[in-house]
């Protein structure tokens, strides 16, 4: 059996079917897995989903060591929505993340929570993930967001204040929005991610 292009980490929740379908439309083969060896060796590992950070972190325990080893080896890993939050240290929602990126995850201070709907990306620095997507509209559905340190943010949006929409550091990347629900802009994100992982 050929190795898939993408391993989606299965933590028992989330929207893995729609994310898998979006990657398939971008030309990738995917598998959903809790096997640490598969997660470690995949060209691209993806932590996707929705839900509560604490329960998601518990569900990821089986592959957490493999994800940390991927980061140490600089093998590409993408977090989507809650998956991006799990890359960070800890969350006000409860529980600790993987600690691969520095910074807390805090509840939004906006008047309207949850943040649901479309916003235009504002790029803050050059980005492999978001190449060609400055001012693109993407879809959000969340109540918490990462507040990264050390200039990790590559894009923000305005929702009663600034929210970090995407981060990159070495072989780690995260998007707070849902590419699988963001039309042509989301498809471009996934194409960029796949190209990045194939060139790593």
Considering the candidates 38, 93, 156, 180, report the single residue annotated as catalytic: 180
Burial 108-135 (b: 16+ CB within 10 A, else e): beeeeeebeeebebebbeebebbeebee
Rg (CA), the chain: 15
178 tagged catalytic: yes
**Is 180 one of the catalytic residues?**
yes
132, 181, 141: which is closest to 163 by C-alpha? 141
Separation between Cα atoms, residue 93 and residue 35, nearest integer Å: 27
- Rounded Cα gap, residues 157 and 148, in angstroms: 15
Q: In terms of DSSP bridges, do strands 30-33 and 6-9 run parallel, antiparallel, or are they unpaired?
A: parallel
Which of 38, 81, 159, 168 is an active site residue?
Answer: 81
Cβ neighbours of residue 145 under 8 Å, at least 6 residues apart?
85, 105, 106, 108, 115, 163, 164, 176
Q: Catalytic one among 115, 142, 159, 178?
A: 178
d(CA 165, CA 83): 13
Do the bridges between strand 115-120 and strand 104-107 make them parallel or antiparallel, or are there none, so unpaired?
unpaired
Residues annotated catalytic, as ranges: 81, 178, 180
């Amino acid at each position: 059996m050929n190795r898939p292009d993408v391993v989606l980490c299965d933590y028992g929740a989330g929207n893995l079917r729609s994310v898998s379908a979006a990657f398939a439309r971008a030309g990738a083969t995917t598998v959903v897995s809790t096997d640490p060896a598969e997660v470690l060796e995949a060209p691209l590992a993806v932590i996707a989903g929705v839900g509560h950070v604490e329960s998601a972190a518990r569900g990821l325990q089986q592959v957490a060591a493999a994800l940390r080893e991927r980061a140490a080896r600089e093998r590409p890993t993408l977090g989507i929505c809650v998956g991006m939050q799990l890359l960070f240290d800890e969350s006000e929602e409860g529980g600790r993340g993987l600690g691969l990126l520095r910074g807390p995850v805090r509840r939004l201070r906006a008047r309207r929570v949850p943040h649901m709907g479309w916003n235009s990306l504002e790029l803050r620095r050059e980005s492999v993930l978001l190449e060609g997507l400055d001012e693109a509209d993407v879809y959000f559905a969340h109540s918490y967001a990462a507040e990264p340190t050390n200039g990790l943010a590559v894009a923000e949006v305005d929702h009663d204040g600034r929210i970090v929409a995407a981060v990159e550091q070495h072989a780690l990347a995260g998007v707070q929005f849902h590419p699988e629900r963001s039309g042509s802009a989301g498809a471009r994100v996934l194409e960029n991610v796949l190209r990045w992982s194939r060139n790593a």
